[in-house]
A = this chain, B = another copy of it.
Amino acid sequence: MPQPTVHICLSPALYPIYHSNESIVVVVDILRATSAICTALHHGMKSVIPVSSIEQAKQYSGDEYIIAAERGGEIVDGFAYGNSPLSYINNPATVGRHLVLTTTNGTQAIEVASESHTLVIGAFSNISTLASWIAQRNQHVMILCAGWKNRINLEDTIFSGALLHLLLNRGYNMDIDSDAGITALSLYQQSANNISQFLKQSSHHQRLSRLQLDDDVAYCLTRDTAPVVPILKQEQIIISEK
């Protein structure tokens, strides 16, 4: 196979346009679904079951499940958990259980790409581990940003640039037929010295700040706190083998 290529898709609404059957898909929702998925699995949850609707989430019952639902940045009324990664760190109540998760954007993006042959979860929390894992496979990659209600967002775009940067250093090419890669890389390079500061202008950062979730944001922007590669297998996300 010639050198593998990285494609970047900045919104789930563009997925059909950038779609390729050959690619490993990396779903990204930095604030906060994919950061939470990495964290929950790294901290001992058995699997994450992504569902699109609150109704689907409610169908799971029993001690083995933790049900988590977020809309618009807030935990949905009637649920104990949302998509804050901090809820799943060293929490005896969640260890060994399955996390049924529905969020505004992240789980929708997983749904969009669920038919791909390989779907993994990306976040700053697992970026180095993920880059190594991808590089070992030597296949084309699409980084699919969850965005915000199909709109482009800054944090997922910057993460795409950061992951692209790592993959370029490992011999990957950029998709030559699109400029989304250059855009993401350029934003990443411009923000690399202080992503947190740069992101303060982003719409979703401001949304979460209003909800007093600055600790969540700081955690989600920290690299390699959850060095696992979550992978979708039969509608459940589990830790991939090396």
Contact = CB atoms under 8 A, between A and B. Distances in A.
A178 B152 contact: yes
A179 B149 CA distance: 12
A interface residue count range (under 10 / 10 to 19 / 20 to 34 / 35 or more): 20 to 34
Interface in A155-206: 157, 176-180, 182-183, 186-187, 190, 201-204, 206
B178 A203 contact: yes
Contacts of A14: 11, 13-14, 150-152
A153 B13 CA distance: 16
Given A11-B14, A157-B183, A183-B157, A178 B151 contact: yes
Q: Tell which of A17, A148, A202 has the most Cβ of chain B within 10 Å.
A: A17
Nearest to A155: B179
A162 to B, nearest CB: 15
Interface of A: 10-11, 13-14, 17-18, 148-154, 157, 176-180, 182-183, 186-187, 190, 201-204, 206
Nearest to A11: B14
Given A152-B179, A179-B157, A13 B10 contact: no
Nearest to A205: B179
Contact of A178 (B148, B183, B187): B148
A154 B182 contact: yes
Contact of A10 (B148, B152, B187): B152
A51 to B, nearest CB: 23
12 contacts: A10-B152, A11-B14, A13-B17, A14-B150, A151-B179, A152-B180, A153-B178, A157-B179, A176-B203, A176-B206, A186-B187, A187-B187
A143 to B, nearest CB: 13
A183 B187 contact: yes
A124 to B, nearest CB: 17
Given A13-B13, A203-B176, A203-B177, A18 B182 contact: no
